[in-house]
Structure 1
Amino acid sequence: MEVFDEIQAYLPFLIPLIGLQVLLSLTALIMLIRQNQVRYMNKLLWALIIVLFNLIGPILYFVLEKRT
């Protein structure tokens, strides 16, 4: 029971962070789907990177595939 109490103490901090992470990933995936052509890799590989590397993947996508 101590583990659940400890997790419950961190929930007010974890829930917004998880929400931001989901929003970041969804935004990156939606932008990837809408983009006609990507520069560095194909769309399937980008989608896997965004989903599997939760924090780093979307950030890498936004930095590397930013259109000017």
Structure 2
Amino acid sequence: MDFIREFFPVLLPIVILEIILMIYALSHVLKHDRYKFGSRTMWILIVIFIQIIGPILYLTIGREEK
């Protein structure tokens, strides 16, 4: 239990950043129909299951620019 208390101040901002990125990326995936490659289902799975890297991947290489 002391281990968690020791690293909590470092982990909390990372967890908050992950949640914000995931919500933003998921909302973008669900609102748009076109992607540079892949499908909606693929991007939803990547964003949800590949923690911080998944949303960043979608936002940098997955979404289609208008």
What secondary structure is seen at the aligned counterpart in 1 of 2:57?
A: helix
Give the TM-score normalised by structure 2. 0.87
1:21 to 3, 18, 21: 18
In structure 2, C-alpha distance between the alignment counterparts of 1:42 and 1:21, rounded to whole Å: 22
Aligned residue for 2:40?
A: 43
Quote how far apart the aligned CAs of 1:55 are.
1.4
Considering only aligned residues, what root-mean-square deviation do their CA atoms show, in Å?
A: 1.3
Larger Rg: 1
Aligned-residue sequence identity (percent) comes to 28
Correspondences of 1:1-68 after superposition (within 5 Å) = 4-64=1-61, 65-67=63-65
Q: Which runs of 5+ in 2 are unaligned?
A: none
Q: State TM-score, norm by structure 1.
A: 0.85
CA shift, 1:27, in A, is: 0.5
- Stretches of 4+ moved more than 2 A in 1? none
Contact 2:36–2:64 (CA under 8 A) maintained in structure 1: no
